Amino acid sequence: MARPEQVLLLEPPQELKFRGPFTDVVTATLKLTNPTDRNVCFKVKTTAPRRYCVRPNSGIIDPGTSINVSVMLQPFDYDPNEKSKHKFMVQSMLAPRDMTDMEGVWKEAKPEELMDSKLRCAFEMPLENDKTTEHSVLAKSASASLDDGEVKKIMEECKQLQMEVQRLREENKQIREDDGLRKRKVPSLGAPHSNTIVTMSRDEGLSTRVLALCVLFFVIGAIIGKLVL
């Protein structure tokens, strides 16, 4: 006698995909749905029990509900030239209305009461383009994570920086004007003293410009650091 057709709905229906790298545990999810008006017992079996951890690997699904089964592939040395031969089988049966012991029910079940579905396994490694795209998405997500308060704070810092630069420019301009005024007022006999004053004024102007650049680089670095983090 042929076995009855599987009453559970499987998602995915035919293939479990595991996406590398496989240096750590990789998990695939199998969703089991019971569309009937009866309780359904299920078991999940595999041809490679040492390579996988399945939780839950058995249980009862109430009518009209679903359950997610986590299939965890253990770390291994991936060989792209080796095709996976691993398979899974979801076995099910309608639960007896007077069921008290699920293990006993499985032992006493008749072959014509059992239903099963088979799934193959597929291993995939992410492409280099996928890695680049993933990094780009993470970077955009980090930038988008800044809330309105942080953006406002950064804008205020930029505004203060612009005001500071403008103030330094005005001070530098005033120094140059004072420098020219001293050169006109100092007599020719005091030329050495005048040269000293001029040199000091130029040094002050240069120091001011260096300070402005330092402040500019520091604030810009702080802003970029916040956007990256």
Is residue 74 a part of any domain in this protein? Answer: yes
Q: For residue range 143-202, list pLDDT tens digits in order.
A: 444 456 665 666 677 667 777 777 777 877 788 777 777 666 655 544 455 455 445 555
Asked if residue 206 is part of any domain, the answer here is no
pLDDT band (50, 70, 90) for residue 101: confident
Please indicate whether residue 104 or residue 52 has the higher confidence score (pLDDT).
52
Among the listed ranges 20-29, 62-71, 77-86, which one has the minimum average pLDDT value? 77-86
Give the pLDDT score at 228: 47
156 located within any domain: no
For the residues 71-84, what does the mean pLDDT come to?
91
Q: Which domain holds residue 62?
A: 9-96+113-124
C-alpha 10/C-alpha 32 separation (Å) is 5
pLDDT at 189: 47
Query: What is the Cα–Cα distance from 37 to 97, expressed in whole angstroms?
Result: 12
Q: How many CB atoms lie under 10 A from the CB of residue 8? A: 21
**Mean pLDDT for the stretch of residues 225-229:** 52
> Could you tell me which of 162, 177, 169 has the C-alpha nearest to residue 208?
169
* pLDDT, greater one: 100 or 115: 115
List the helix and strand counts (H, then E) for the chain: 4, 9
The answer to whether position 85 is within a domain reads yes
Residues with Cβ within 8 Å of 175's Cβ and at least 6 positions away in sequence, in order, are 201, 204, 205, 208
Is 184 part of a structural domain of the chain? Answer: no
pLDDT of residue 53: 96
Residues 6+ apart with CB under 8 A from 89: 44, 45, 46, 116, 117, 118, 119
Residue 65 sits in a domain whose CATH number is 2.60.40.10
Run of H or E including 101: none
DSSP 36-98: SSS-EEEEEEES-TTTEEEESSEEEE-TT-EEEEEEEEPP----TTSPP--EEEEEEEEPPTT
Asked, for residue 26, whether it belongs to a domain, the answer is yes
Counting the structural domains of the chain, the total is 1
| Residue 14, in any domain of the structure | yes
In a domain, 54, yes or no: yes
Specify the pLDDT at position 9: 97
Neighbour tally for 145: CB within 10 Å: 9
Residue 5: its pLDDT value, please?
Answer: 92
Q: Would the pTM count as exceeding 0.85?
A: no
Task: Centre a 10 Å sphere on the Cβ of residue 211 and count the other Cβ atoms it contains.
Answer: 13
pLDDT band, residue 142 (cuts 50/70/90):
very low
User: Could you tell me how many residues make up the chain?
Assistant: 229
Say which amino acid occupies 25: V
